Amino acid sequence: MKKRTVGILLGMTLAALSLMGCSGNAATEAANESAEIEKEGNGEDEETEKTEVQEESPESETDSTETEEEEPAVKVGILLPDENEGTWAMDGQNLKECLEADGYEAELVYAQGDSQKQASQILDMAALDIPALIIAPVDEYGLTEALEETKEKNIYVFSFDKLIRDSDGVNYYAAFSGRSAGKAAAEAIVKEQDLEKAREEQKSRTIEFLMGSQDDIQSLFFYNGVMEILQPYLDDGTLACASARTSFEDTGILRFSRSTAEREIKKILEEFYQDTEGPDIICTGFDMAACAAADGLEEKGIFPSGENWPVITGFGCQTEGVMDIAEGRILCSIFMDRHILAEECVKMVDTYLKGENPEVNNYEEYDNGKKIIGTYLCDVQVIDSGNYEMLIDKGYYKEEELNREAFPVMEEPERTL
Protein backbone atom coordinates (compact mmCIF):
# COMPACT_ATOMS: atom_id res chain seq x y z
CA MET A 1 0.00 0.00 0.00
CA LYS A 2 2.82 2.38 0.86
CA LYS A 3 4.44 1.83 -2.56
CA ARG A 4 1.14 2.43 -4.34
CA THR A 5 0.67 5.81 -2.57
CA VAL A 6 4.19 6.86 -3.55
CA GLY A 7 3.51 5.96 -7.15
CA ILE A 8 0.30 8.04 -7.27
CA LEU A 9 2.07 11.08 -5.81
CA LEU A 10 4.92 10.72 -8.33
CA GLY A 11 2.50 10.54 -11.23
CA MET A 12 0.62 13.65 -10.12
CA THR A 13 3.88 15.58 -9.70
CA LEU A 14 5.15 14.71 -13.21
CA ALA A 15 1.79 15.52 -14.78
CA ALA A 16 1.72 18.92 -13.10
CA LEU A 17 5.23 19.73 -14.31
CA SER A 18 4.29 18.74 -17.85
CA LEU A 19 1.23 21.02 -17.88
CA MET A 20 3.27 23.92 -16.52
CA GLY A 21 6.00 23.49 -19.19
CA CYS A 22 8.67 23.06 -16.53
CA SER A 23 12.32 23.67 -17.27
CA GLY A 24 15.07 20.99 -17.32
CA ASN A 25 16.23 21.94 -13.83
CA ALA A 26 12.75 21.58 -12.40
CA ALA A 27 12.37 18.16 -14.02
CA THR A 28 15.71 17.06 -12.57
CA GLU A 29 14.70 18.24 -9.11
CA ALA A 30 11.41 16.35 -9.42
CA ALA A 31 13.19 13.19 -10.47
CA ASN A 32 15.60 13.48 -7.54
CA GLU A 33 12.73 14.06 -5.18
CA SER A 34 10.89 10.97 -6.48
CA ALA A 35 14.08 8.93 -5.99
CA GLU A 36 14.26 10.04 -2.37
CA ILE A 37 10.63 9.07 -1.92
CA GLU A 38 11.41 5.61 -3.35
CA LYS A 39 14.27 5.20 -0.84
CA GLU A 40 12.01 6.19 2.01
CA GLY A 41 9.49 3.63 0.79
CA ASN A 42 11.92 0.68 1.25
CA GLY A 43 10.31 -1.70 3.68
CA GLU A 44 8.93 -5.20 4.03
CA ASP A 45 7.78 -5.48 0.42
CA GLU A 46 11.30 -4.66 -0.86
CA GLU A 47 12.90 -7.24 1.43
CA THR A 48 10.47 -9.83 0.05
CA GLU A 49 11.47 -8.94 -3.53
CA LYS A 50 15.18 -9.22 -2.62
CA THR A 51 14.58 -12.65 -1.15
CA GLU A 52 12.75 -13.76 -4.29
CA VAL A 53 15.62 -12.53 -6.48
CA GLN A 54 18.17 -14.29 -4.28
CA GLU A 55 16.19 -17.52 -4.50
CA GLU A 56 16.05 -17.29 -8.30
CA SER A 57 19.73 -16.37 -8.82
CA PRO A 58 21.22 -19.82 -8.10
CA GLU A 59 18.96 -21.30 -10.80
CA SER A 60 20.02 -18.65 -13.32
CA GLU A 61 23.67 -19.28 -12.49
CA THR A 62 23.14 -22.99 -13.09
CA ASP A 63 21.50 -22.25 -16.44
CA SER A 64 24.43 -20.07 -17.53
CA THR A 65 27.02 -22.74 -16.70
CA GLU A 66 25.18 -25.59 -18.39
CA THR A 67 26.71 -26.60 -21.78
CA GLU A 68 25.66 -29.11 -24.35
CA GLU A 69 27.64 -32.34 -24.50
CA GLU A 70 30.14 -32.44 -27.38
CA GLU A 71 29.58 -35.13 -29.98
CA PRO A 72 32.37 -37.73 -30.14
CA ALA A 73 34.89 -37.33 -32.95
CA VAL A 74 34.30 -39.35 -36.11
CA LYS A 75 36.59 -42.38 -36.17
CA VAL A 76 38.74 -43.27 -39.19
CA GLY A 77 40.52 -46.62 -39.50
CA ILE A 78 44.19 -46.91 -40.55
CA LEU A 79 45.35 -50.41 -41.51
CA LEU A 80 49.04 -50.81 -42.38
CA PRO A 81 51.23 -53.88 -43.09
CA ASP A 82 53.91 -53.95 -40.38
CA GLU A 83 54.89 -51.56 -37.58
CA ASN A 84 58.38 -53.09 -37.44
CA GLU A 85 59.14 -51.82 -40.94
CA GLY A 86 60.36 -48.24 -40.69
CA THR A 87 58.40 -46.79 -43.58
CA TRP A 88 55.03 -48.12 -42.39
CA ALA A 89 55.73 -47.00 -38.82
CA MET A 90 56.37 -43.48 -40.13
CA ASP A 91 53.24 -43.61 -42.27
CA GLY A 92 51.11 -44.67 -39.31
CA GLN A 93 52.34 -41.76 -37.21
CA ASN A 94 51.91 -39.28 -40.06
CA LEU A 95 48.37 -40.40 -40.88
CA LYS A 96 47.32 -40.43 -37.22
CA GLU A 97 48.65 -36.93 -36.61
CA CYS A 98 47.01 -35.53 -39.74
CA LEU A 99 43.62 -37.05 -38.88
CA GLU A 100 43.71 -35.84 -35.29
CA ALA A 101 44.71 -32.36 -36.45
CA ASP A 102 41.50 -32.33 -38.53
CA GLY A 103 39.41 -33.36 -35.53
CA TYR A 104 39.05 -37.10 -36.21
CA GLU A 105 39.81 -40.06 -33.99
CA ALA A 106 42.33 -42.42 -35.59
CA GLU A 107 42.13 -46.17 -35.06
CA LEU A 108 45.59 -47.40 -36.11
CA VAL A 109 46.38 -51.12 -36.46
CA TYR A 110 49.20 -53.13 -38.04
CA ALA A 111 48.90 -56.60 -39.55
CA GLN A 112 52.49 -57.67 -38.81
CA GLY A 113 52.87 -58.80 -42.39
CA ASP A 114 49.88 -61.18 -42.22
CA SER A 115 47.30 -60.65 -44.98
CA GLN A 116 44.66 -62.79 -43.26
CA LYS A 117 45.08 -60.80 -40.07
CA GLN A 118 44.61 -57.59 -42.04
CA ALA A 119 41.40 -58.95 -43.59
CA SER A 120 40.14 -59.75 -40.09
CA GLN A 121 41.01 -56.23 -38.92
CA ILE A 122 38.96 -54.81 -41.78
CA LEU A 123 35.95 -56.91 -40.77
CA ASP A 124 36.32 -55.77 -37.14
CA MET A 125 36.24 -52.12 -38.20
CA ALA A 126 33.32 -52.74 -40.53
CA ALA A 127 31.39 -54.21 -37.58
CA LEU A 128 31.93 -50.89 -35.77
CA ASP A 129 30.55 -48.99 -38.79
CA ILE A 130 33.67 -46.84 -39.05
CA PRO A 131 32.80 -44.65 -42.09
CA ALA A 132 36.23 -44.54 -43.79
CA LEU A 133 39.29 -46.78 -43.89
CA ILE A 134 42.84 -46.03 -45.07
CA ILE A 135 44.48 -49.29 -46.12
CA ALA A 136 47.98 -50.15 -47.31
CA PRO A 137 47.60 -53.85 -48.16
CA VAL A 138 49.96 -56.59 -47.03
CA ASP A 139 48.89 -58.50 -50.14
CA GLU A 140 47.34 -56.38 -52.88
CA TYR A 141 45.22 -59.37 -53.98
CA GLY A 142 44.26 -60.63 -50.51
CA LEU A 143 41.44 -58.32 -49.42
CA THR A 144 38.68 -59.02 -51.96
CA GLU A 145 36.30 -60.82 -49.58
CA ALA A 146 36.83 -58.45 -46.65
CA LEU A 147 36.08 -55.43 -48.82
CA GLU A 148 32.75 -56.92 -49.91
CA GLU A 149 31.62 -56.25 -46.34
CA THR A 150 32.82 -52.63 -46.38
CA LYS A 151 31.09 -51.99 -49.70
CA GLU A 152 27.82 -53.45 -48.42
CA LYS A 153 27.98 -51.09 -45.44
CA ASN A 154 28.94 -48.11 -47.64
CA ILE A 155 32.28 -47.73 -45.85
CA TYR A 156 34.68 -45.82 -48.09
CA VAL A 157 38.10 -47.36 -48.66
CA PHE A 158 41.18 -45.27 -49.49
CA SER A 159 44.03 -47.41 -50.79
CA PHE A 160 47.31 -45.96 -49.53
CA ASP A 161 50.65 -46.21 -51.36
CA LYS A 162 49.95 -49.72 -52.71
CA LEU A 163 46.83 -50.31 -54.81
CA ILE A 164 44.39 -52.94 -53.57
CA ARG A 165 43.64 -55.25 -56.49
CA ASP A 166 40.63 -57.33 -57.60
CA SER A 167 38.06 -55.43 -55.54
CA ASP A 168 35.34 -52.96 -56.47
CA GLY A 169 35.20 -51.96 -52.79
CA VAL A 170 38.11 -49.54 -53.29
CA ASN A 171 36.97 -45.94 -53.72
CA TYR A 172 40.15 -43.84 -53.96
CA TYR A 173 43.91 -44.27 -54.15
CA ALA A 174 46.70 -42.00 -52.86
CA ALA A 175 50.23 -42.70 -54.07
CA PHE A 176 53.33 -41.32 -55.71
CA SER A 177 53.58 -41.14 -59.46
CA GLY A 178 55.64 -44.14 -60.56
CA ARG A 179 55.70 -42.82 -64.11
CA SER A 180 57.02 -39.43 -62.97
CA ALA A 181 59.67 -41.18 -60.87
CA GLY A 182 60.82 -43.24 -63.85
CA LYS A 183 60.98 -40.18 -66.08
CA ALA A 184 62.99 -38.31 -63.44
CA ALA A 185 65.55 -41.13 -63.19
CA ALA A 186 65.83 -41.37 -66.98
CA GLU A 187 66.24 -37.61 -67.37
CA ALA A 188 69.10 -37.71 -64.84
CA ILE A 189 70.76 -40.35 -67.03
CA VAL A 190 70.26 -38.29 -70.20
CA LYS A 191 71.82 -35.27 -68.52
CA GLU A 192 74.74 -37.07 -66.85
CA GLN A 193 75.70 -38.99 -70.00
CA ASP A 194 74.89 -36.07 -72.31
CA LEU A 195 72.96 -38.38 -74.62
CA GLU A 196 71.91 -35.57 -76.94
CA LYS A 197 75.55 -34.81 -77.72
CA ALA A 198 76.29 -38.53 -78.09
CA ARG A 199 73.42 -38.77 -80.56
CA GLU A 200 74.75 -35.85 -82.61
CA GLU A 201 78.21 -37.41 -82.65
CA GLN A 202 76.71 -40.84 -83.39
CA LYS A 203 78.33 -42.35 -80.33
CA SER A 204 76.84 -45.16 -78.28
CA ARG A 205 76.51 -45.79 -74.53
CA THR A 206 75.84 -49.21 -73.02
CA ILE A 207 73.00 -49.66 -70.50
CA GLU A 208 71.53 -52.43 -68.34
CA PHE A 209 68.26 -52.48 -66.41
CA LEU A 210 67.24 -53.93 -63.04
CA MET A 211 63.61 -52.90 -62.51
CA GLY A 212 61.19 -53.42 -59.62
CA SER A 213 58.97 -56.41 -58.91
CA GLN A 214 56.83 -57.63 -61.80
CA ASP A 215 53.78 -57.96 -59.54
CA ASP A 216 53.93 -54.34 -58.36
CA ILE A 217 51.89 -51.84 -60.38
CA GLN A 218 54.05 -48.87 -59.40
CA SER A 219 57.12 -50.71 -60.67
CA LEU A 220 55.41 -51.08 -64.03
CA PHE A 221 54.64 -47.37 -64.10
CA PHE A 222 58.24 -46.60 -63.12
CA TYR A 223 59.48 -48.77 -66.01
CA ASN A 224 57.07 -47.05 -68.41
CA GLY A 225 58.35 -43.65 -67.27
CA VAL A 226 61.97 -44.72 -67.82
CA MET A 227 61.23 -46.01 -71.31
CA GLU A 228 59.22 -42.95 -72.26
CA ILE A 229 62.50 -41.03 -72.06
CA LEU A 230 65.10 -43.65 -72.99
CA GLN A 231 63.35 -45.71 -75.71
CA PRO A 232 64.12 -43.19 -78.49
CA TYR A 233 67.84 -43.46 -77.65
CA LEU A 234 67.58 -47.26 -77.73
CA ASP A 235 65.78 -47.11 -81.06
CA ASP A 236 68.45 -44.99 -82.77
CA GLY A 237 71.41 -46.82 -81.23
CA THR A 238 72.57 -44.04 -78.92
CA LEU A 239 71.91 -46.52 -76.13
CA ALA A 240 72.78 -50.19 -76.54
CA CYS A 241 71.83 -53.00 -74.14
CA ALA A 242 74.42 -55.80 -74.41
CA SER A 243 72.22 -58.33 -72.62
CA ALA A 244 69.21 -57.36 -74.78
CA ARG A 245 67.08 -57.41 -71.61
CA THR A 246 64.91 -54.35 -71.96
CA SER A 247 61.33 -55.53 -71.35
CA PHE A 248 59.69 -55.19 -67.95
CA GLU A 249 59.31 -58.96 -67.69
CA ASP A 250 63.00 -59.55 -68.43
CA THR A 251 64.37 -56.81 -66.20
CA GLY A 252 62.02 -57.02 -63.20
CA ILE A 253 63.36 -58.32 -59.85
CA LEU A 254 60.61 -60.28 -58.13
CA ARG A 255 59.72 -59.11 -54.60
CA PHE A 256 62.43 -56.43 -54.80
CA SER A 257 65.01 -59.01 -53.75
CA ARG A 258 68.49 -57.62 -53.28
CA SER A 259 70.05 -61.07 -53.54
CA THR A 260 68.25 -61.68 -56.84
CA ALA A 261 69.42 -58.32 -58.16
CA GLU A 262 73.00 -59.13 -57.16
CA ARG A 263 72.81 -62.50 -58.86
CA GLU A 264 71.40 -60.95 -62.05
CA ILE A 265 73.99 -58.19 -62.34
CA LYS A 266 76.85 -60.66 -61.78
CA LYS A 267 75.46 -62.86 -64.52
CA ILE A 268 75.17 -59.91 -66.93
CA LEU A 269 78.70 -58.69 -66.17
CA GLU A 270 80.15 -62.16 -66.61
CA GLU A 271 78.34 -62.97 -69.87
CA PHE A 272 78.39 -59.67 -71.71
CA TYR A 273 81.33 -57.58 -70.49
CA GLN A 274 85.09 -58.03 -70.41
CA ASP A 275 86.99 -58.47 -67.14
CA THR A 276 87.70 -54.78 -66.51
CA GLU A 277 84.62 -53.42 -68.23
CA GLY A 278 81.03 -52.80 -67.34
CA PRO A 279 78.09 -50.91 -68.80
CA ASP A 280 78.12 -47.12 -68.93
CA ILE A 281 74.73 -46.99 -67.22
CA ILE A 282 72.79 -49.23 -64.82
CA CYS A 283 69.22 -48.06 -64.34
CA THR A 284 67.42 -49.71 -61.42
CA GLY A 285 63.89 -49.61 -60.03
CA PHE A 286 64.79 -49.71 -56.32
CA ASP A 287 67.75 -48.70 -54.18
CA MET A 288 68.75 -52.19 -53.07
CA ALA A 289 69.18 -53.17 -56.73
CA ALA A 290 71.40 -50.11 -57.23
CA CYS A 291 73.49 -51.07 -54.18
CA ALA A 292 73.71 -54.67 -55.42
CA ALA A 293 74.92 -53.43 -58.81
CA ALA A 294 77.63 -51.32 -57.16
CA ASP A 295 78.75 -54.32 -55.09
CA GLY A 296 78.86 -56.52 -58.18
CA LEU A 297 81.02 -54.03 -60.03
CA GLU A 298 83.49 -53.80 -57.17
CA GLU A 299 83.74 -57.58 -57.00
CA LYS A 300 84.64 -57.45 -60.69
CA GLY A 301 87.42 -54.98 -59.92
CA ILE A 302 85.67 -51.82 -61.06
CA PHE A 303 85.64 -49.01 -58.46
CA PRO A 304 84.04 -45.55 -58.12
CA SER A 305 87.45 -43.87 -58.29
CA GLY A 306 88.17 -45.39 -61.70
CA GLU A 307 87.20 -44.21 -65.18
CA ASN A 308 84.97 -47.20 -65.88
CA TRP A 309 82.53 -46.62 -63.03
CA PRO A 310 79.02 -46.37 -64.53
CA VAL A 311 76.11 -44.08 -63.84
CA ILE A 312 73.83 -45.98 -61.42
CA THR A 313 70.35 -44.77 -60.51
CA GLY A 314 68.02 -45.97 -57.73
CA PHE A 315 64.52 -45.38 -56.44
CA GLY A 316 63.32 -44.94 -52.83
CA CYS A 317 66.12 -43.20 -50.91
CA GLN A 318 66.68 -46.10 -48.51
CA THR A 319 69.47 -45.77 -45.97
CA GLU A 320 72.20 -47.61 -47.84
CA GLY A 321 71.18 -45.99 -51.10
CA VAL A 322 71.61 -42.53 -49.61
CA MET A 323 75.00 -43.54 -48.17
CA ASP A 324 76.08 -44.71 -51.63
CA ILE A 325 74.94 -41.39 -53.10
CA ALA A 326 77.01 -39.50 -50.52
CA GLU A 327 80.04 -41.66 -51.34
CA GLY A 328 79.67 -41.38 -55.11
CA ARG A 329 78.75 -45.02 -55.78
CA ILE A 330 75.22 -44.13 -56.96
CA LEU A 331 74.38 -41.06 -59.02
CA CYS A 332 70.90 -40.47 -57.64
CA SER A 333 67.72 -41.90 -56.19
CA ILE A 334 64.11 -40.79 -56.31
CA PHE A 335 62.68 -39.37 -53.08
CA MET A 336 59.04 -39.73 -52.10
CA ASP A 337 58.06 -37.42 -49.23
CA ARG A 338 55.72 -39.60 -47.19
CA HIS A 339 54.64 -36.69 -45.00
CA ILE A 340 53.04 -35.19 -48.10
CA LEU A 341 51.47 -38.53 -49.06
CA ALA A 342 49.81 -38.78 -45.63
CA GLU A 343 48.58 -35.19 -45.82
CA GLU A 344 47.04 -35.68 -49.26
CA CYS A 345 45.36 -38.95 -48.29
CA VAL A 346 43.84 -37.44 -45.15
CA LYS A 347 42.68 -34.46 -47.20
CA MET A 348 40.78 -36.89 -49.45
CA VAL A 349 39.20 -38.61 -46.44
CA ASP A 350 38.22 -35.29 -44.85
CA THR A 351 36.65 -34.05 -48.09
CA TYR A 352 34.59 -37.23 -48.44
CA LEU A 353 33.39 -37.18 -44.82
CA LYS A 354 32.24 -33.60 -45.32
CA GLY A 355 30.01 -34.75 -48.16
CA GLU A 356 32.10 -33.64 -51.12
CA ASN A 357 34.08 -35.42 -53.83
CA PRO A 358 37.81 -35.79 -53.05
CA GLU A 359 40.24 -34.24 -55.51
CA VAL A 360 41.94 -36.65 -57.94
CA ASN A 361 44.55 -35.87 -60.60
CA ASN A 362 44.53 -39.23 -62.38
CA TYR A 363 41.39 -41.07 -63.39
CA GLU A 364 42.74 -43.10 -66.28
CA GLU A 365 45.74 -45.27 -65.42
CA TYR A 366 45.03 -47.09 -62.16
CA ASP A 367 42.87 -50.10 -62.97
CA ASN A 368 42.77 -52.56 -60.07
CA GLY A 369 41.25 -55.35 -62.15
CA LYS A 370 37.68 -54.42 -61.30
CA LYS A 371 37.48 -50.73 -62.11
CA ILE A 372 39.46 -47.55 -62.66
CA ILE A 373 40.31 -46.03 -59.28
CA GLY A 374 40.29 -42.25 -58.84
CA THR A 375 43.84 -41.42 -57.78
CA TYR A 376 45.77 -38.53 -56.30
CA LEU A 377 49.45 -38.73 -57.29
CA CYS A 378 52.07 -36.89 -55.26
CA ASP A 379 55.23 -35.46 -56.81
CA VAL A 380 58.71 -36.99 -56.45
CA GLN A 381 62.18 -35.44 -56.26
CA VAL A 382 65.64 -36.45 -57.48
CA ILE A 383 68.20 -36.81 -54.66
CA ASP A 384 71.91 -36.68 -55.49
CA SER A 385 75.21 -35.79 -53.83
CA GLY A 386 74.34 -32.11 -53.96
CA ASN A 387 71.09 -32.23 -52.01
CA TYR A 388 70.89 -35.51 -50.04
CA GLU A 389 71.29 -33.60 -46.75
CA MET A 390 67.75 -32.32 -47.17
CA LEU A 391 66.65 -35.78 -46.00
CA ILE A 392 68.34 -35.00 -42.68
CA ASP A 393 66.72 -31.58 -42.55
CA LYS A 394 63.28 -33.13 -43.15
CA GLY A 395 63.82 -35.62 -40.33
CA TYR A 396 64.00 -38.78 -42.42
CA TYR A 397 67.50 -39.51 -41.20
CA LYS A 398 69.84 -38.39 -38.46
CA GLU A 399 73.28 -37.36 -39.63
CA GLU A 400 74.97 -40.23 -37.82
CA GLU A 401 72.64 -42.75 -39.49
CA LEU A 402 74.29 -41.98 -42.82
CA ASN A 403 77.81 -42.54 -41.46
CA ARG A 404 78.81 -45.98 -42.75
CA GLU A 405 81.83 -46.30 -40.43
CA ALA A 406 79.91 -45.45 -37.27
CA PHE A 407 76.91 -47.57 -38.17
CA PRO A 408 77.70 -50.61 -40.35
CA VAL A 409 74.80 -51.22 -42.71
CA MET A 410 72.72 -54.34 -42.20
CA GLU A 411 70.76 -55.60 -45.19
CA GLU A 412 67.36 -53.92 -45.08
CA PRO A 413 64.22 -56.06 -45.27
CA GLU A 414 62.88 -56.36 -48.77
CA ARG A 415 59.69 -54.44 -49.37
CA THR A 416 57.53 -52.91 -52.00
CA LEU A 417 57.80 -49.17 -52.54
- pLDDT band at 406; cut points 50, 70, 90: low
Q: Is 103 exposed, middle or buried (0-12, 13-18, 19+ CB in 10 A)?
A: exposed
**pLDDT at position 70:** 72
Question: What average pLDDT does range 47-53 have in this prediction?
Answer: 44
* pLDDT for the residue 8: 36
208 and 316 both lie in a single domain: yes
Task: Confirm whether 323 is domain-assigned.
Answer: yes
pLDDT at 412 over 70: no
Are 145 and 267 part of one and the same domain? no
**Same-domain pairing of 315 and 343:** no
Q: Is residue 55 part of a domain?
A: no
Q: Do 193 and 165 fall within a single domain?
A: no
Q: Are residues 290 and 353 in the same domain?
A: no
Phi-psi region of 44 (alpha: psi -120 to 50; beta: other; left: phi over 0): alpha
Report residue 68's pLDDT band, with 50, 70 and 90 as the boundaries: low
Question: Average of pLDDT values for 174-192?
Answer: 97
Say yes or no: 303 and 350 in one domain: no
Asked if residue 288 belongs to a domain, the reply is: yes
Domain membership flag for residue 63 = no
Number of domains present in the structure of the chain: 3
Q: Does residue 167 carry a pLDDT above 80?
A: yes
| 223 and 183 within one domain | yes
- Residue 291's alpha-carbon distances to 40, 320, 376, in angstroms, are 101, 7, 30
15 and 88 co-located in one domain: no
More confident residue, 304 or 59: 304
pLDDT in tens, 261-284: 999 999 999 999 988 899 999 999
Residues 162 and 221 in one domain: no
User: How confident is the model over 283-335, as pLDDT tens digits?
Assistant: 999 999 999 999 999 999 999 999 999 999 999 999 999 999 999 999 999 99
Greater model confidence, 275 or 122: 122
The closest alpha carbon to 192, from 202, 177, 179, 205, belongs to 205
Could you tell me if residue 278 is inside a domain? Answer: yes
- Identify which has the larger pLDDT, 341 or 19: 341
Cβ-contact 335, 325 below 8 angstroms: no
pLDDT computed for residue 52 by the predictor: 45
Structural domain that includes position 363: 75-170+338-379
Asked whether residue 293 falls in the same domain as residue 206, the answer is: yes
287 domain-assigned:
yes
* Domain membership flag for residue 151: yes
Res 14 pLDDT > 90: no
Same domain, 266 and 372: no
Of all residues in the chain, the percent with pLDDT exceeding 70 is: 80
Residues 272 and 398 in one domain: yes
CATH number at residue 135: 3.40.50.2300
Residue 416 falls inside a structural domain = no
State the pTM of this model: 0.76
Q: What is the distance between the alpha carbons of residues 230 and 274, in angstroms, rounded to a whole number?
A: 25
pLDDT for the residue numbered 404: 74
